[in-house]
Chain A
Amino acid sequence: DTGVSQDPRHKITKRGQNVTFRCDPISEHNRLYWYRQTLGQGPEFLTYFQNEAQLEKSRLLSDRFSAERPKGSFSTLEIQRTEQGDSAMYLCASSLTVREPQHFGDGTRLSIL
């Protein structure tokens, strides 16, 4: 399967801990996006990369959040000092160009105890 893959699928952690998620996009896609989805809502944009450059960050992305895409391949999203409000599904998507559809992974579901 050459789709977008995310790891882990589920993460349960205590408030205050740091967590890191990984996304492997479709190999030829140079654009990579992170979204967050809470129950009953549509996904909300967090940040995106073109190759290794992080080009835009949403206001939702507080200082506790950091994303990287070294070498323009896989990407990581780290949340430091997690809070209850961080509980959500974190979705990664990739696309070939800005005009092409985005292909989503199955997400990482984060639960904060």
Chain B
Amino acid sequence: SQQGEEDPQALSIQEGENATMNCSYKTSINNLQWYRQNSGRGLVHLILIRSNEREKHSGRLRVTLDTSKKSSSLLITASRAADTASYFCATDAGRSQGNLIFGKGTKLSVKP
């Protein structure tokens, strides 16, 4: 079963604009991760945010986590055509085994 729900399902923006994707989840978590997937390829890890953290930055990426609302957001600033991909959030559902539960993803299209 899917744990996370990304919103929107699809997002189309112009190069240079910011892109915001949201993720909601159902259970308690130890951490939440964001991944990117280019068409036909595997997933690339972007950011891991732990349950006691509220915000994390990595280059043009900013992730926030609100455990009271069971939600997270991923902001990509100054988007580029190369950012075109599907973005997934994944949680461990509070378990210690480490297997991730993914949402359905947001398909981002950045037009040059």
Chain A interface (Cβ < 8 Å from any Cβ of B): 4, 6, 31, 33, 35, 40-45, 48, 55-56, 58, 91, 93, 95, 98-99, 101-107, 109
Size range of the chain B interface in the assembly: 20 to 34
Interchain nearest-CB distance for A44 vs B (Å):
7
The answer to whether B41 and A95 have CB atoms under 8 Å apart is no
Q: How far is the CA of A111 from the CA of B43 in the complex (A)?
A: 20
- Produce 1/0 per residue, B73-90, CB < 8 A to A: 000000000000000101
Q: Is B104 an interface residue (CB 8 A)?
A: yes
The answer to whether B102 and A44 have CB atoms under 8 Å apart is yes
Chain B interface (Cβ < 8 Å from any Cβ of A): 2, 4, 30-31, 33, 35, 40-45, 48, 88, 90, 96-105
The answer to whether A98 and B42 have CB atoms under 8 Å apart is no
